[in-house]
Chain A
């Protein structure tokens, strides 16, 4: 019987570099949770169907359970633990509390990372399935937000709060011109 195969990789997680020896079968999600103790990213289905494991991988949202860690040597990863800066919550995190955009909290880290990535995508003009005019600037109305956040399931049914929170963060971001 073959021994497990390990590979040396480097990951920069929330700004900190880690030199790791990973089982080549290990998902990025399991490496974050089990090897690095960053348990904010959640495992809901382990099959890329629920979005609870969403992280920012080299700046784009990705399902950590579908990413093999060994395939991301050198990657920069931001998890929910990296969204607050110096103890100050991000506008999205604040808006999630204000609008009660979660109940059990298990999908919340994925929702927050997904929304963080989504706001960047919209700002860069990426269209979604419900975007009418592909040439126009993206306007994040509720329909766009709902469509773009549909990769993150919430069984508690906090979608109404999630949409309100993302809308508020998007509007404040636009008002701030960032």
Chain B
């Protein structure tokens, strides 16, 4: 139970985030967004803006420097007059002060040629296509057996369609960069990101630099949830603006602009067909997914992939179809794929349990499997059933009356629900160094990121254990691209990937130590690429079970989550204190997904309409009552030296289904379109 090592800095306001580094003679940028849904910038009248005292530069496609090519088209800032979606950055202003930059941005007059944007996702869109792969490298479609026939011949069938809306990550710290070009032509970026090495490599390509000429500094990052896993236009804009005015420039994307320019989760339409025998044993699973991407960049969310992992069934088909719309580019948001996919699968499992007259926990137990159904690989460990059983005990599931809509306390209808969770145990290759200092302490360096995950603390524990040293003898330094190259904080692979490199560097250092440390210190390094290539083949996944109790106001349709419990099996838990926070944090986001989060596309003009925190609701303190997370002991020798699986995302996976299933149990109404708002619920009351 170790406190966060940077806790004191964070509670005293001393932890510095990207916008907060002192820079001499700093200037401020403000960006202008396209006010049309599709078209071209026809003319930019800069006169009024440039006449404003304190305005240093206006940047747009005609005068912006030519950038190098990178795969993410969202980073080709001001490279053409084309407008691909409403809200795209089309110009920027640099001013002496924040106030001046903002005023000047308002004074820019931009004319457009306008076309009608195509922005509405639908399952019969003529532009739907099969992507070559889904994120990151999974096949778009898979099929085993004769799923259509098997479904048709099944004794118990569920054929339902769920939709999930676009959702925005909304980390509390906006996407921010302070860019500074140095006299020797190098570039220093104080940047809010989930991976300094990635930002370094991408920015070097964009600006024609050697990666060694770019330094990215990001020791503290105010959340990301995937949206800072890839570089965003803010880093390009700040670097471009700083070069244009010959001064350091700061730019933080205003909250309203984040909804168009910093990524979001695609909306999905998912048809689920489950066919089972009378005992609930699955015979056929068909999961068809329809989702959107932009015309700027293809992002194909891997929504049906958990369906390839969860349950036994001899006949199975999964598919993803994508349509390129005139919308901002969707991207990673916490557990991309698993989050919307498991919402649909685990809601459908609840419907199947009711159709078959079987307890929903028992249904999942009956369909458990010791081999990954599609690959046939053995699981390195799989404790889904243990999580369900443990959770049922702690939550008080026994004796639950399955009848929906029959428990009433005054105006409140009460119900409980359960859903399973899963997330892959990724382990990306990494490098790290470990140093023995002459004063008896150790310094471990890796370009990892702590976006609130507790990574710095977990890595300190891991290093101290590998070095057989006390915690206060070990200093772990992260968040700097000058440190050994590291993978992004993503895919819940940080602790496994970074941690293994840290262990190997520490082991190598111990091998070098023979009593005394020379005055210049001793340093060892590690690269885990080879070790990871040589791993045995196993299906490696974490599992979990989530339980929710809700009350629904029978008159207003308001839903409140009274209790929520998550039980997870994720290998060895490195630091119980921060791990519990990670799980609960994910579950809290799941309450938001279930009940409030929804980005509404303007069907006529394009662009997300509810682009601030007063209109895009995330859970507030009062929304989260009795919530807890725990885990079962899991020893898995096939993972990594720590024996750990990732825990950053699984807390969100299945959470919305547990709440939705509880709402159905409370009311008898099955809302299949998230979020479950009073309007949607009352519609069927």
Chain A residues with CB under 8 Å of chain B are 1, 3-4, 23, 25-26, 30, 33-34, 37-47, 49-50, 52, 79-81, 83-84, 89, 93, 96-98, 100, 102-109, 112, 142, 145-147, 149-163
Contacts and interface: CB of A to CB of B under 8 A. Distances in A.
Interface string B194-233: 0000000000000000000000000011110100000000
Given A47-B614, A103-B585, A157-B588, A34 B98 contact: yes
A109 B12 CA distance: 7
Contacts of A97: 3-4, 7-8, 11
Given A26-B97, A153-B613, 7 more contacts: A44-B172, A45-B613, A80-B11, A80-B12, A104-B173, A108-B10, A150-B620
B512 interface: no
A42 B587 contact: no
Which residue, of B19, B221, B222, B588, has the highest number of chain A Cβ atoms within 10 A?
A: B222
Nearest to A87: B12
Interface stretch (B130-138, B270-278, B307-315, B574-582): B574-582
Given A50-B172, A155-B223, A158-B585, A102 B10 contact: yes
Interface of B: 3-4, 6-17, 19-20, 22, 48, 51-54, 97-100, 103, 170-174, 220-223, 225, 252, 254-255, 451-454, 577-578, 580-582, 584-589, 612-614, 618-622, 624-625, 627-628
A156 B614 CA distance: 18
A38 B3 CA distance: 25
A159 B20 CA distance: 26
Contact of B100 (A4, A83, A151, A163): A4
A104 B171 contact: yes
Contacts, number: 188
Contacts of A150: 620-622
A105 B99 contact: no
Which residue, of A4, A98, A105, A159, has the highest number of chain B Cβ atoms within 10 A?
A: A105
Contacts of A30: 98-99
7 contacts: A25-B103, A44-B613, A47-B613, A102-B7, A154-B172, A158-B585, A160-B627
A131 to B, nearest CB: 13
Contacts of B627: 159-160
A13 B344 CA distance: 52
A38 B255 CA distance: 21
Contacts of A104: 171-173, 220-223, 451-452
A41 B13 contact: yes
A42 B172 contact: yes
Contacts of B174: 43-44
B225 A25 contact: no
Contact of B4 (A40, A49, A100, A154): A100
A145 B622 CA distance: 8
Given A25-B99, A50-B172, A163-B621, A3 B53 contact: yes
B12 A84 contact: yes
A93 B11 contact: yes
A152 B613 CA distance: 11
B48 A1 contact: yes
Contacts of B103: 25
Contacts of A33: 19-20
Contacts of A103: 223, 452-454, 578, 581-582, 585
Nearest to B102: A25
